[in-house]
Amino acid sequence: MKKIVVAIDGPAGAGKSTIAKLAAEKLGYAYIDTGAMYRSVTWKFLQTGREFDEAFISELANTMIIEFKPEAKINRVFVDGTEVTEAIRTPEVTAIVSRVAAIGAVREAMVEQQRRMGEIGGVLMDGRDIGTVVFPHAQLKIFLTASVEERARRRYKEMVEKGQQVELAQLQEDIAARDKQDSERAISPLRQAEDALLLDTSDMSIAQVTDKILQLVQERV
Ligand code: DC
């Protein structure tokens, strides 16, 4: 059966990674979490303890090796051989990842790798610019969203389950700020591609959204 490229874009906390991972498993596709790539660059930069410097961060992005090793429940991420699966999700990384992702040379380096990973098809890639920039000719593009309140509630639940202490109002504020930064940046801002299908998941369960995506893929193969 033909294996296509599925591009899933949308704002933070819309459920992209959970759903993309589930759908990829069911389809036997590779799942590429491009947010994890920008987070990896940010992590690597924070490790150096240097001041924010675009040229330096771009150099790191061009020389580091990011690898995904999918396992049953988690998608492990490695940077130059070191596992960073958890380390790239810390508040320190989250706080500045949008600034790192706004650097043109960093995006160029990531997009090139993403295109290589998807060139043979059979991938489900999630991010902010997959349908607009990385794979403008993807056979299926989905723009996944949900209200900011619902996205904050989901993130809150997820973090509380992990034993992290957070405030719902603060989370909502952070998510709104990140949306704004990602949507208003000059290069490859977050936006729905014209030919992307809009899926508002505010009132949908994970299973419902996953089934909908599987159905859309079936229609295209
Ligand atoms: O999806 P996420 O929260 O892990 O993404 C982390 C950051 O990376 C987010 O602020 C937006 C940015 N990003 C991007 O600019 N382009 C992508 N394709 C994926 C993520």
- Check residue 86 and give its pLDDT: 94
Distance 101 CA to ligand 1 centre (A): 7
pLDDT digits (tens, 9 = 90+) for 194-212: 999 999 999 999 999 999 9
Strand partners, 125: 7, 32
Nearest Cα residue to atom 18 of ligand 1? 127
Confidence grade of residue 8 (pLDDT, cut at 50, 70, 90):
very high
Average pLDDT, the chain: 95
Distance 139 CA to ligand 1 centre (A): 22
Where exactly are the structural domains of the chain? 5-220
pLDDT digits (tens, 9 = 90+) for 102-112: 999 999 999 99
Ligand 1 atom at minimal distance to the Cα of residue 16: 1
Ligand 1 atom at minimal distance to the Cα of residue 110: 18
Cα separation, 124 vs 17, whole angstroms:
10
The answer for residues whose C-beta is within 8 angstroms of residue 147's C-beta and 6 or more apart is: 202
Residue 152, classed as helix, strand or coil, is: helix
- Check residue 74 and give its pLDDT: 85
Distance 1 CA to ligand 1 centre (A): 31
Cα separation, 43 vs 28, whole angstroms:
30
pTM of the model: 0.93
Nearest Cα residue to atom 10 of ligand 1? 98
Nearest Cα residue to atom 16 of ligand 1? 128
What is the average per-residue pLDDT within 42-51? Answer: 98
Confidence grade of residue 52 (pLDDT, cut at 50, 70, 90):
very high
Cα separation, 127 vs 12, whole angstroms:
9
pLDDT digits (tens, 9 = 90+) for 122-180: 999 999 999 999 999 999 999 999 999 999 999 899 889 989 889 999 999 999 998 99
Ligand 1 atom at minimal distance to the Cα of residue 17: 1
Distance 84 CA to ligand 1 centre (A): 16
Confidence grade of residue 72 (pLDDT, cut at 50, 70, 90):
confident
Please determine, looking at this structure, whether the domain spanning 5-220 carries the CATH number 3.65.10.10.
Answer: no
